[in-house]
Amino acid sequence: MNALARQVRAVVWPLVGVAIVLGAWQVGVLISGVAPYLLPPPTAIARAMWESRDMLASAMGRTALGATIGFACAAAGGILIGSVIALIPILRRSLYPLATVLQMVPVVAVAPLLQLWVDNGLPMAILSAAIVSLFPVLAATIDGQASVDPGLRELFQLSRASLLSRWWKLDLPWSVPATVTGLRIAAGLAVIGAVVGEFVSGYGGVRAPLGIVIQAAMRDARTDLVFAAVALTTVVGFALFGAVSLVGWLLVRRWHASAVNETEDRR
Amino acid sequence: MTRLPPTLQFDRVAREFAGGVRAVDGVTLSLAPGSLTAVIGPSGCGKTTLLRLAAGLDVPTAGRVEAEGASGSRSARSVCFQDPRLLPWRRVVDNVALPLELAGVPREQRQASALEVLRAAGLAHASRMLPAQLSGGMRMRVALARALVTQPQVLLLDEPCSAVDEFTRMQLDEEILRTFRACGATTMLVTHSVSEAVWLADRVIVMARGRVHADHAVRVQRDRRDRGDVGFLSEVEHCMRLLAAASGRDAA
């Protein structure tokens, strides 16, 4: 009962915060008389969202597709490349700094270059999403696998375990909590990357993604629709983040300190 | 027919670390087949380094460590460390089966062996639990069971009781004795507890500054050892004096 009440409170209070901000926004716009094309009130945004619901839903699906595929590629690639780099000390010393430097290059700046290599549209969104979300996964995987307890390494050394066997049975499971943290950061970035890819490639038509909807609505001075589309990009990001968090929790809930505190209490 | 376990032979073994620190400095020792030898000494005397050399986790800078008469397979050596070193995501039974798994033993066979040693250790009820659900003493007992699962011929114990309270330590000592008797391995126990050394071992080696300072055969038979007995206490006192002399030498 108490636990239920705590969970309800955990949901209710953030909602109250959102309600306060939206209320202040609505009242502020009405009192100050700001033109709706500069700053539409929340009710106008909600109305725009409802009126264009079919188009927005399709756009959201399109953006979610690009972000999710890009994220999945980055997750798989990051864990794989990160594992190889972590296993081979020479690579760790030589490639890790390079990866850090490459991560500093803003995706917006290189996006036009990407157009040379892949088709506009969904491929651009996927590639752009994958590029921005790769580094957090890579870095977290390398750090996680490089920080394996040396005592446990010795255990495998005593049994003369092969490198691959040690990686599969020790390094990889040990690094799961760290990698999940990297994946959660990557989930949010993937949506940003996808929208940037959409901005640059500018594909449209009936299957326009949210990035294109935002650009088109800006040109038409439909600020309410811009806000509606922006709100939906955050929904996509939040959904991806939530899904990753859930999977991560399911993986480590039995044994990692971040999840087993309740079990510890029983001792 | 049971084969005799090997003699663990240290032949002028030295281990020098970077900076010229000689952790082990010319140790020659011969641990008799199936005996239990305790190594005690002040902190930094090189006793843990000696054990790591015997385990093959470290390589001597001079001399040789050999298990003479062993079948030659390294898996015949088992080590139990100060900390239990259990994989937190594995159930107890899978932790115990790990050395067999890494040696390529089929799943059913290694599970059966793991359950068998757990049952013998009175831990069968915990076999499906995760390490986080166990107390510190129980985790150590699981680590001991894991050391036993490969039926080692050489058993190396590195202060297995250092992280537990006095009562748990006495229980663990019983467990070590049972383990030792079950596998009959040539056993080396590194400890900082003199009474534990006397209670468990046939022979107590006192180390100081990387060398063997004293070598004492325990005069009370293992079956007759009682922590309150006068004979036992006088043995402890004798070893205490040897240790004190070694510490004095260490400080000099």
| CATH number, domain with residue B237 | 3.40.50.300
| Amino acid in the structure at residue B151 | Q
pLDDT reported for residue B2: 53
Does residue A30 fall inside a structural domain?
no
Does residue B2 fall inside a structural domain?
no
Q: Are B186 and B67 in contact (CB under 8 A)?
A: yes
Whether the CA torsion A217, A219, A224, A227 is positive or negative: it is: positive
pLDDT reported for residue A265: 43
Which DSSP category does B38 fall into? E
Does residue A132 fall inside a structural domain?
yes
Res. B223: pLDDT tops 80 = no
- Measure A255 CA to nearest chain B CA, in Å: 5
Res. B251: pLDDT tops 60 = no
The 10s digit of each residue's pLDDT in A30-68 is 999 888 889 999 999 999 999 999 999 999 999 999 999
Per-residue pLDDT, averaged over B4-29, amounts to 89
Does residue B130 fall inside a structural domain?
no
pLDDT reported for residue B249: 60
- Unique residue bearing structure tokens 């990698």: A179
Task: Write out the residue range of the structural domain in which residue A89 sits.
Answer: 48-258
Task: Write out the residue range of the structural domain in which residue B37 sits.
Answer: 7-83+153-251
Res. A77: pLDDT tops 80 = yes
The ipTM estimated for the assembled molecules is 0.87
The 10s digit of each residue's pLDDT in A4-23 is 888 888 889 889 999 999 99
CA distance A154 to A151: 5
Phi-psi category of residue B193: left, alpha or beta, with phi > 0 → left and psi -120 to 50 → alpha: beta
Q: Tell me the pLDDT band of A229, cut-offs 50, 70 and 90.
A: very high
Exposed/middle/buried for residue A104 (C-beta within 10 Å: 0-12, 13-18, 19+): exposed
Per-residue pLDDT, averaged over A91-106, amounts to 84
The 10s digit of each residue's pLDDT in A166-179 is 999 999 999 999 99
Q: Are A140 and A172 in contact (CB under 8 A)?
A: no
Does residue A36 fall inside a structural domain?
no
Exposed/middle/buried for residue B45 (C-beta within 10 Å: 0-12, 13-18, 19+): buried
Alpha helices, DSSP H, located in B153-219 = 166-183, 194-200
What tokens does A190 get? 């993937």
Q: Over the Cα atoms of chain A, what is R_g?
A: 23
pLDDT reported for residue A204: 62
Does residue A16 fall inside a structural domain?
no
pLDDT reported for residue A267: 40
CB proximity under 8 Å: A 156-215 to B: 156-161, 165, 169-170, 173
Does residue B128 fall inside a structural domain?
no
Does residue B118 fall inside a structural domain?
no
Tell me which chain B residues have a C-beta less than 8 angstroms from the C-beta of A267: 133, 135
Q: Tell me the pLDDT band of B3, cut-offs 50, 70 and 90.
A: low
| CATH number, domain with residue A183 | 1.10.3720.10
Higher pLDDT, A93 or B37: B37
The 10s digit of each residue's pLDDT in A200-224 is 887 666 678 999 999 999 999 999 9
Percent of chain B with pLDDT over 90: 52
Cβ pair A159:B102 closer than 8 A = yes
Does residue A92 fall inside a structural domain?
yes
Does residue A56 fall inside a structural domain?
yes
- Measure B57 CA to nearest chain A CA, in Å: 7
The 10s digit of each residue's pLDDT in B44-94 is 889 999 999 999 999 999 999 988 775 554 447 899 998 999 999 999 999
- The packing angle between helices A89-103 and A122-146, to 10°, is 140
The 10s digit of each residue's pLDDT in B144-187 is 999 999 988 899 999 888 777 888 888 889 889 988 888 889 99
Res. A121: pLDDT tops 90 = no
pLDDT reported for residue B182: 83
CA-nearest residue to A150 within chain B is: B85
Does residue B135 fall inside a structural domain?
no
Per-residue pLDDT, averaged over A111-120, amounts to 86
As for how many domains chain B has, the answer is 1
Task: State the CB neighbour count (10 A cutoff) for residue B129.
Answer: 16
pLDDT reported for residue B77: 86
- Measure B159 CA to nearest chain A CA, in Å: 14
In 3D space, the residue among B160, B153, B82, B75 whose CA is nearest the CA of residue B110 turns out to be: B75
Res. B252: pLDDT tops 50 = no
- Measure B247 CA to nearest chain A CA, in Å: 29
In 3D space, the residue among A218, A197, A184 whose CA is nearest the CA of residue A111 turns out to be: A197
Cβ pair B132:A266 closer than 8 A = no
Does residue A54 fall inside a structural domain?
yes
pLDDT reported for residue A177: 94
CA distance B203 to B215: 7
CA distance A192 to A190: 5
Does residue A39 fall inside a structural domain?
no
- At A148, give phi and psi (nearest 5°): -60, 135
Does residue B144 fall inside a structural domain?
no
Tell me which chain B residues have a C-beta less than 8 angstroms from the C-beta of A149: 85
Q: Are A108 and A189 in contact (CB under 8 A)?
A: no
As for how many domains chain A has, the answer is 1
CA distance B117 to B120: 5
What is each CA distance from B225 to B105, B183, B228, B232, in whole angstroms? 39, 21, 9, 6
